[in-house]
Amino acid sequence: MIINAPLVIDGKTIAGEALTIIAALMERLQASVALQDLQRREAHIRMSDTWLCNPTAPEEIPIGMRDPDDEQLSAPVNWRWKLWAAPSTHFSGDAFHEVLRAARSLAAFLPAEELPEGPTPADGGAGGSSGPAELGIPVAWARKTRG
């Protein structure tokens, strides 16, 4: 199976290497595949020779991946993307490992901005705790050992 149709994400065409990974996964598993964009709340679905894009909430299974036997599989690519596969008939025993391997390989090709390291306080301050004194616990008491 060769996938020649371009996949455009964030205004850029995704590399041919990524399409090759997807095509190989589809062929090995005899499955449809979707890339779910959790940030934009949509899924790019590949079932034959074109890409479809449908609105999909982060907690939803993309349309076309909803297998009646509940055999669809998913694996995270990065914080923004999830890879889905739905079988044409039934998956083999190693299907999840194939999906996971493909997801890891796709991470290099799918855009994801860096996440902030932690939550930012609403007042713009540094946040965090200054330790026991903030709770009104005397430092000397906190350091006492039982004897």
| Residue 103 and residue 60 in contact, taking contact as beta carbons nearer than 8 Å | no
List pLDDT tens digits, range 76-109. 999 999 999 999 999 989 999 999 999 999 999 9
Q: Which residues of 71-89 are buried (b: 16+ CB within 10 A; e: fewer)?
A: ebbbbebbebbbbbbbbee
| Model-wide pTM > 0.85 | no
DSSP-based helix, strand, coil % in the chain, nearest 5: 25, 20, 55
| Residue 54 and residue 42 in contact, taking contact as beta carbons nearer than 8 Å | yes
